[in-house]
Amino acid sequence: MIHLKLLLFGPLQDQFEKKQMTLEMPENTTVLSLLEHLNLDSTLVKVAVNGQIVSQTMILVEEYEIALIPPVSGG
């Protein structure tokens, strides 16, 4: 098992009631499996690892800083 540090932005902070959280996940967890675990729509939420948007097939490791970025709306 690995511990992933997640940073939450926008409405995700409201949904989870925190700005950051740590999850214990199995080794070889992908971005997609992380989003599914959190019940987040993988077509809407972008994931950045160490400041770079990454693909959903990327395997996550403990040292990464993972940011979950919801869709942005303007007006």
* CATH at residue 29: 3.10.20.30
Identify the pLDDT of residue 74: 55
DSSP state of 30: B
Does some domain include residue 74? no
Domain range for residue 30? 2-69
Count of domains forming the chain: 1
Identify the pLDDT of residue 75: 55
Give the helix/strand (H/E) hosting 13. helix 11-16
Does some domain include residue 75? no
Does some domain include residue 64? yes
Does some domain include residue 56? yes
Cα(55)–Cα(64) distance, integer angstroms: 14
Identify the pLDDT of residue 2: 96
| pLDDT tens column, 18-56 | 999 999 999 999 999 999 999 999 999 999 999 999 999
Residue count of the chain:
75
Does some domain include residue 29? yes
φ, ψ of residue 36 in degrees (nearest 5) = -65, -40
Indicate if the alpha-carbon torsion angle 29, 33, 38, 43 is positive or negative: positive
